[in-house]
Amino acid sequence: MKTAICYYSRHHGNTRKVLEAMAEVGEIDLIDVTTRQAVRLEHYDCIGFASGIYGFTFQKAVVEFARQYLPCGKPVFFVYTYGGAKGSGAKVVQEIAREKNCPVLGEFSCKGYDTFGPFKLTGGIAKGHPDEQDLEHARRFYLTLMEHENRGVQK
Ligand SMILES: Cc1cc2nc3c(=O)[nH]c(=O)nc-3n(C[C@H](O)[C@H](O)[C@H](O)COP(=O)(O)O)c2cc1C
């Protein structure tokens, strides 16, 4: 199962840390949506979209990437990190997946160190996250996802 995860991670690289943990246990290409101008996602079995939560939602560039490049019918999953209030989380990319008839395999989220705005004055929130336990949950999430997908393919 070859997977691509298209992501945006800038604040503290929290989301990227989670994705790197997943990439340790699977065949995953990590695609930074700010550096890749174009991509062919048809060649992958499964696509992830990942972002920090900024202003209660996914970063715009990831959403636009999904709108432009996600092939119809391709299985997808979502990953995000947030400081304390995830708001609508992955809802906007879920909506794009629905419009493109893409089966949604699941969603993983965890806290990520946040020093945005006033939080900076007090040393930030969700300090130390993602921590080793978060990363282990992320690895397990991906492995479970792949187990289900492989079982589906074998049927
Ligand atoms: C501009 C900005 C806006 C943010 N908005 C939210 C928010 O609405 N809710 C929340 O829980 N965290 C918010 N955060 C915190 C980030 O979601 C959190 O730190 C996340 O782990 C950042 O991911 P990254 O390091 O991969 O960029 C915000 C951070 C920044 C810089």
36-95 per-position pLDDT tens digit: 777 899 999 999 999 999 999 999 999 999 999 999 999 999 999 999 999 999 999 999
Q: How far is the CA of 90 from the centre of ligand 1 (A)?
A: 13
Band the pLDDT of 155: cuts 50, 70, 90: low
- 154 versus 79: which is more confidently predicted? 79
pLDDT of 154 above 70 = no
Q: How far is the CA of 2 from the centre of ligand 1 (A)?
A: 29
Say what the pLDDT of residue 69 is.
96
Ligand 1 and 119: CB distance under 6 A: no
Q: How far is the CA of 129 from the centre of ligand 1 (A)?
A: 12
pLDDT digits (tens, 9 = 90+) for 112-135: 999 998 888 888 999 999 999 999
Domains of the chain by range and CATH?
3-148 (3.40.50.360)
Q: How far is the CA of 60 from the centre of ligand 1 (A)?
A: 13
Ligand 1 and 87: CB distance under 6 A: yes
Say what the pLDDT of residue 68 is.
95
Q: How far is the CA of 83 from the centre of ligand 1 (A)?
A: 6
Atom of ligand 1 nearest to the CA of 52: 23
Q: Partners of 107 in the beta sheet?
A: 78
The structure tokens listed for 98 are 């629905």
Compute CA distances 155 → 31, 99, 149, whole Å: 31, 27, 10
Say what the pLDDT of residue 146 is.
93
**Residue 141 burial (CB count, 10 A):** 22
Q: Among 11, 78, 92, say which to mutate for ligand 1: greatest number of ligand atoms within 8 Å of CB.
A: 11
